[in-house]
Amino acid sequence: MKVRGIGIGSMVYGVGYGFSRPDFASAEVEIAPDGTVTIWSGASELGQGIRTVLSQIVAQEFGAAYEDIRVISADTDKTPDSGPVSASRSTYVQGNAVLAACKDLKQELISLASELMGVESNLVEIQNGQIAAKDKIGKIISFSKLASEMHVQGRRTHGFGWHNNRTLDVDKNTSQGDAYSSYAWASQLVEVEVDTQTGRVKILRLASATDVGKAINPQLIEGQIEGGAVQGLGFALMEEMQVEQGVFNNANLSTYLIPTAADVPPIDSLIVEVSDPSGPYGAKGMAEPATIPTTPAILNAIADAISKRVRYSLASPENVLKVLGKIDGSGKEGFLLLEDIPYPVA
Amino acid sequence: MINNQKDVLMDLVINNKHISIRAGGGRCLLDFLREDLSLMGTKEGCGEGECGSCTVLLDGKAVLSCMTPMERAIGREVTTIEGVGRPGNLHPLQQAMMEEGGVQCGFCTPGMIMSGVELLNRKSNPNRDEIVEGISGNLCRCTGYRKIITAIERAAEKMS
Ligand code: FES
Ligand code: FES
């Protein structure tokens, strides 16, 4: 028999390292006479798109063309320390450092633009990739003209930024406090179909709503949401590290299975933007938040479908059949029972 | 790689170019491509036929180059990702992968594109199921596959 169920999984995630641990990034930017800009950042590109996002930040701040921005990243011989890419911190912490480097230089840019256009500097505005005078319609100076003029006049063309994301720690005795500077939220909704004869679980569809603060690059975010959901799907249904006395028994891809294109359900990516003033343009970290709710959502959906809970480390066909009492294990829901989970005592 | 095998004459066509060189035999095609020809586009993910990242075309058919003895390519035609398109002259699927966001870390990408190209050569207008089947031997850890599937659909539209 095939039964269907719906489940939801939700999470809150502290972005960055929190708990007063060191969490900083530095960055540099330099404007060349031809209107190109170079960014130096220790941020490493793993495919999440941080080089793209850093370039977008600089283009936005300087009114430069995105194509004219070059990123030198993650080279200890050349780039300043930006800390690791982890804890969903690259856009949030490393992006903030690049933003600070731009701000370091922006006053220079604006004062020169105000001289060239003959307007007060508070009336100079960088918008839609152009530097314009607020009060004089049509008074516009291009970034590349400004860049070359900076060099002609010997102005400062190199900016440095440092962002410190160190937070307070929680109270040692009560564990209460604000351990992170930013929190991300995410929920996922999953519909499954469980075959009670074979124990096979099929994900019919998945919706993922992730609060990203501000979507600096929606396409990259969708990629993270979809990739995260599919990793969570693997974690729920097929990925199990079989360790025996510290040795992996399934350390290759024929025994440690990960999802293929055939396992992927339709995914609705919902990008939620609740701005966080501490992030660049309000952005928060979102990479891990995209994967955390998937597994609980799937397990909840299975419980909804079969009215029993799978508490094994994964809902493989074998474990589902155990929970259903169809093979040995005789209906036991798994080894991890609620009362086994230690709760902090107030 | 330790290799005690005798040299063989590798006479074949690679990416539309005829080559004829002596090379240490007894290795897989993947190693020959990367070590002897410096064609680094083809990736070794697992080296044991499970991930698809080493996919190349042998006489137009997708094969796993890590599981193919190099000698099997003699007298035949091999296409690698370098032969599919180049910057400025990209294959429609390469272009679509960029536009649709089908690439994250990029490690699966060359193999994924080779499987996609083979599919598009075989079938001008594949449906979603056929696309999924066509790339089901190619593992991707980053993207969740959906944008790759969409990219193949877009490429098919553009090519028809
Ligand atoms: S490297 Fe050939 S299949 Fe993985
Ligand atoms: S893009 Fe990273 S494995 Fe596919």
CATH number of the domain within which B55 lies: 3.10.20.30
> How many angstroms does the Cα of residue B83 sit away from the middle of ligand 2?
21
Same domain, A313 and A250: yes
Asked if residue A330 and residue A196 are part of one domain, the reply reads yes
Instruction: Tell me the backbone φ, ψ of residue B11, rounded to 5 degrees.
Output: -115, 105
Asked if A251 is an interface residue toward chain B (Cβ–Cβ < 8 A), one would say no
A304 touches chain B (CB under 8 A): no
Residues 6+ apart with CB under 8 A from A338: none
CB distance A214 to A281 below 8 Å: yes
Report the residue from A219, A220, A264 with minimal CB separation from B145.
A264
Q: How is residue A193 written in tokens?
A: 């179909």
Distance A244 CA to ligand 2 centre (A): 29
Q: Is B133 on the interface with A (CB under 8 A)?
A: yes
Note whether A220 contacts B46, CB cutoff 8 Å: no
Q: pLDDT at position A320, please?
A: 94
Strand duo A130-133 + A124-127: pairing: antiparallel
Encoded tokens for A330: 């005789």
Question: In one letter, which amino acid is A67?
Answer: E
- What's at A23, amino acid-wise? D
How does pLDDT run across B50-71, given as a tens digit for each residue? 999 999 999 999 999 999 999 9
Per-residue confidence (pLDDT) for residue B85, from 0 to 100? 96
Q: For residue A170, is it within any domain?
A: no
Q: For residue B4, is pLDDT > 70?
A: no
A304 is a domain residue:
yes
Residues B65-95 pLDDT 10s? 999 999 999 999 999 999 999 999 999 999 9
Same domain, A196 and A287: yes
What is this model's ipTM?
Answer: 0.94
Based on the domain organization, do B96 and B143 belong to the same domain?
yes
Are residue B77 and residue B102 in the same domain, yes or no?
A: no
Is A253 in Cβ contact with B139 (below 8 Å)? yes
| Total domain count, chain B | 2
Closest CB from A222, A226, A252 relative to B50:
A252
C-alpha dist (Å) from residue A271 to A53, A210, A233, A306, A328 = 17, 6, 20, 31, 44
Q: Would you state the pLDDT for residue A330?
A: 58
Interior angle at CA A24, CA A19 and CA A28, nearest 5: 170
Cβ-defined contacts of B85-94 (< 8 Å, 24+): B91/B117, B91/B155, B92/B154, B92/B155, B92/B158, B92/B159, B93/B117, B93/B120, B93/B151, B93/B152, B93/B155
Residue A110 lies in a domain: yes
* CA gap A267, A145 in Å, rounded: 46
Percent pLDDT > 90 in chain B is 96
Tokens of A114: 């105000």
**Cα–Cα distance for residue pair A284/B48, rounded to 1 Å:** 40
Over residues B1-16, mean pLDDT: 85
Predicted pLDDT at A137: 72
Residues A152 and A195 in one domain: no
Strand pairing of A2-14 and A183-195?
A: antiparallel
Residue type, position A153, single letter: Q
**A:214-243 residues touching chain B, CB 8 A cutoff:** 219-220, 222-223, 226-231
A228 neighbors A287 (Cβ within 8 angstroms): yes
**Rounded-to-10 torsion of CA A199, A254, B137, B44:** 150
To test the pocket of ligand 1, the residue of B50, B81, B107, B135 to mutate (highest count of ligand atoms within 8 Å of its CB) is: B50
Provide the pairing of β-strand A267-272 with B7-14: unpaired
- The boundaries of the domain holding residue B41 are 7-83
| Listed residues B66, B83, B100: the one ending a domain | B83
Same domain membership, residue B155 and residue B98: yes
CA distance A82 to A258: 32
Contact B104 A223 (CB under 8 A): yes
Same domain assignment for residues B77 and B104 = no
CA distance A82 to A310: 42
Choosing from B20, B53, B83, the residue where a domain stops is B83
Give the chain A residue whose CA is nearest to the CA of B149: A261
Place of tokens 């960088």: A126
- Measured distance CA(B57)–CA(B101) in Å, rounded: 24
- Contact (CB<8Å) B145/A253: no
CATH number at residue B111: 1.10.150.120
Supply the pLDDT for residue B2. 56
Q: Is residue A171 part of a domain?
A: no
Judge residue A342's burial from the number of C-beta atoms within 10 Å of its C-beta, 0-12 exposed, 13-18 middle, 19 or more buried.
exposed
Set of chain A residues whose Cβ sits within 8 Å of the Cβ of B149: 261
* Cβ contact B144–A230 (<8 Å): yes
The radius of gyration of chain B from alpha carbons, rounded to an integer in Å, stands at 16
Look at ligand 2, atom 3, and give the residue with the nearest C-alpha.
B140
Percentage of chain B modeled with pLDDT above 70: 98
Same domain, B79 and B124: no
Tokens 């290795």 belong to B27
pLDDT confidence of B136, banded at 50, 70, 90?
Answer: very high
Residues of A with catalytic function = 288
Q: What is the pLDDT along chain A (346 residues), one digit of tens a residue?
A: 999 999 999 999 999 999 999 999 999 999 999 999 999 999 999 999 999 999 999 999 999 999 999 999 999 999 999 999 999 999 999 999 999 999 999 999 999 999 999 999 999 999 877 898 887 777 889 999 999 999 999 999 999 999 999 999 999 999 999 999 999 999 999 999 999 999 999 999 999 999 999 999 999 999 999 999 999 999 999 999 888 888 999 999 999 999 999 999 999 999 999 999 999 999 999 999 999 999 999 999 999 999 999 988 799 999 999 999 888 765 666 655 555 555 554 4
Six-digit token pair at A167? 């937070």
Based on the fold, state whether residues B108 and B51 are members of the same structural domain. no
Token pair, residue A65, equals 């063309």
User: Predicted confidence band at B102 (pLDDT cuts at 50, 70, 90)?
Assistant: very high
Are the C-beta atoms of residues A230 and A168 closer than 8 Å to each other?
no
- Work out how many domains chain A is built from and give that number: 2
Please indicate, yes or no, whether residues B65 and B109 belong to a single structural domain of this protein: no
Q: Which of A132, A164, A196 is the last residue of a domain?
A: A164
Q: Which of B28, B31, B32, B51 to mutate to test the pocket of ligand 1 (most atoms within 8 A of CB)?
A: B51
Q: Is B114 in the pocket of ligand 1 (CB under 6 A)?
A: no
Chain CA centroid to CA A277, Å: 17
Mark whether A327 and A265 lie in a shared domain: yes
A193 in any annotated domain = yes
| Residue A251 confidence (pLDDT) | 92
Nearest partner of A56 among A47, A48, A65, A46, judged by Cα = A65
Chain-centroid distance, C-alpha A298 = 22
Q: Does A345 touch chain B (CB under 8 A)?
A: no
**Is the domain of B13 the same as that of B72?**
yes
The parent domain of residue A35 ranges over 24-164
Q: Are residues B66 and B129 both part of a single domain?
A: no
- Whether A129 and A205 map to the same domain: the answer is no
Residue B106 CB less than 6 A away from ligand 2: yes
- Cβ neighbours of B49 (radius 10 Å): 14
In terms of DSSP bridges, do strands A183-195 and B7-14 run parallel, antiparallel, or are they unpaired? unpaired
Cα torsion B45, B47, B50, B55 to 10°: value is 70
B window 135-154, beta carbon within 8 A of A: 135-149
- Any B CB within 8 A of A252 CB: yes
CB pairs under 8 A between A and B: 71
Same domain, A186 and A146: no
Are residue B79 and residue B134 in the same domain, yes or no? no
Distance in Å, CA B31 to ligand 2 centroid: 21
Q: What is the CATH number of the domain that holds A303?
A: 3.30.365.10
